Amino acid sequence: MKKSAVVIFPGRGTYGKDELGYLTRHHTDKAAFIKGVDDWRERQDRETVSALDNAKTYSAAKHASSINASALIYTCALADFAAINRDEFDIAAVCGNSLGWYLTLAGAGAVNPVNAIRLVDTMGALMETQGKGGQLIYPFVGEDWRESRANLKAISDAIHAGRTEGQAYLSIRLGGMAVLAGDDAGMAAMERVLPQAEGRYPFRLARHAAFHTPLLSHVSDAAFNTLEPEIFQSPNLPMIDGRGAIWSPHASDLGALYNYTFGHQIIETYDFSKSIEVAVKEFAPDKLILAGPGATLGAPIAQELIRHEWLGLSSKADFSAMQKEDPFLIAMGRADQRALAV
């Protein structure tokens, strides 16, 4: 009997040094799909994903830039999605984090492959050339992955300080992590106010603009002016967006989908936590499958499961024990779990 699964697509920052060669290692059978992406990139006078993935060494300046990372992660993630064993799994729904919303649209068929790489590459280029401000990460939770009132207060205080001196926002609710964003003054104020946590937070994300905040309203305007409503079509699978709203096959308003994707989704908080809550509570999947590259979303997903005590989980230790015995979350970017999905 098939298992039901919700597939989760990753965001920016998931193609790191360890992911170099991901397409070569896992997707030599996806040559036609990869060539389609490469052909698009060549027509835009951009380095192909094949060349980037096959580079001898990883370069943060090159591989982590928005214009390259977006296309790389799209290609790896959608190839992973195609590799999921459909004899083993029924895909109940799809969702993603930030950039992962564009990948969700592609995976669900709400944009066709030609328009999918055009969408991803266009938005990557706009963020690269017009992005403003920055992002940092700070935990909502303690080291046991349980919600921390002290951390919640610290985050609230930091946003208040950032707004006193500049602009500051909650950019992404990422499981047990808050992604905060602001202009230069707002970022500096938040970093100054936030107490050190776990020896590494607050942690500023390199090469990230103030995604999902009003600071990028000009990028939203540019997206509307560059990408037309006709690129969208009815999805084949239910999609969960960055508010927790479900877009169903044959029942989605494509005009509203266009407006959400290039409006709210760019300038308002992306609630990845809510999308995971909706995924498990509305679809009750047997498994969650996290597409690669990388597996950095594993911890935020686990933290959200713990917050809702899903499957009786109440701590990091509980989650780790479950994953060792019978993984509920299958991360395709992990060698020890990939075989469970393909």
pLDDT of residue 1: 87
Q: Are 217 and 267 in contact (CB under 8 A)?
A: yes
Q: Which residue has the tokens 């790191």?
A: 16
- How far apart CA 200 and CA 138 sit, in angstroms, is 9
Residue 331: alpha-carbon gap to chain centroid:
14
pLDDT of residue 83: 98
Q: Are 7 and 107 in contact (CB under 8 A)?
A: yes
Q: What is the pLDDT along the chain (342 residues), one digit of tens a residue?
A: 899 999 999 998 899 999 999 999 999 999 999 999 999 999 999 999 999 999 999 999 999 999 999 999 999 999 999 999 999 999 999 999 999 999 999 999 999 999 999 999 999 999 999 999 999 999 999 999 999 999 999 999 999 999 999 999 999 999 999 999 999 999 999 999 999 999 999 999 988 999 999 999 999 999 999 999 999 999 999 999 999 999 999 899 999 999 999 999 999 999 999 999 999 999 999 999 999 999 999 999 999 999 999 999 999 999 999 999 999 999 999 999 999 999
Residues β-bridged to residue 94: 7, 239
Residues β-bridged to residue 203: 137
Whole-model pTM? 0.97
DSSP 208-265: ---TTSGGGHHHHHHHHHHS-GGG----SS-EE-TTS-EE-TT---HHHHHHIIIIIH
pLDDT of residue 85: 98
Q: What is the CA radius of gyration of the chain?
A: 19
Take residue 208 and report the two structure tokens written for it: 């990230």
pLDDT of residue 13: 86
The stretches of 44-174 forming alpha helices (DSSP H) are 49-53, 60-63, 66-83, 99-107, 113-130, 149-165
Cα dihedral value 195, 17, 118, 219, nearest 10: 20
Q: 3-130+216-338: which CATH number, 3.40.250.10, 3.30.465.10, 3.40.50.720, 3.40.366.10?
A: 3.40.366.10
Tell how strand 287-290 and strand 246-247 pair up: unpaired
Domain ranges of the chain: 3-130+216-338, 134-208
Tell me whether the CATH fold assigned to 3-130+216-338 matches the one assigned to 134-208: no
Distances (CA, A) of 324 to 166, 318, 338: 46, 10, 14
CATH second-level architecture of 134-208? 2-Layer Sandwich (3.30)
Sort 234 into a burial class: Cβ within 10 Å, 0-12 / 13-18 / 19+: middle
pLDDT of residue 253: 97
The crossing angle, in degrees rounded to 10, of helices 99-107 and 66-83 is 40
